[in-house]
Amino acid sequence: MKKADLVVLGKVVRSEGREGRLKIRLSEKGPTGFVGRTVYIRHGDDLQAYDVESLTVDRNATFLKLKGLDTLEAADALAGREILAAESDFRGLGEDRYYDFEIIGSRVRTRAGAEVGTVEAILSTGGPALLVVRRGGEDVYVPFAEAIVVEVDPASREVVIDPPDGLLDLNEI
Q: Count CB neighbours of 163 within 10 A.
A: 20
Total count of residues recorded for the chain: 173
pLDDT tens-digit map of 141-168: 999 988 999 999 988 899 999 998 888 8
In sign, the C-alpha dihedral spanning 141, 29, 158, 118 is positive
Letter for the amino acid at 71? T
Q: Domains in the chain, please, with CATH?
A: 3-89 (2.40.30.60), 100-169 (2.30.30.240)
* Tens of pLDDT, residues 53-65: 998 888 888 899 9
What pLDDT does 40 receive? 93
Say which residues have a Cβ less than 8 Å from residue 36's Cβ, sequence separation at least 6.
52, 85, 86, 88, 89, 90
pLDDT at 78 over 90: yes
> Could you report the per-residue pLDDT of 103-155, keeping only the tens digit for each?
889 999 999 999 999 999 988 877 788 999 999 888 999 999 889 999 999 88
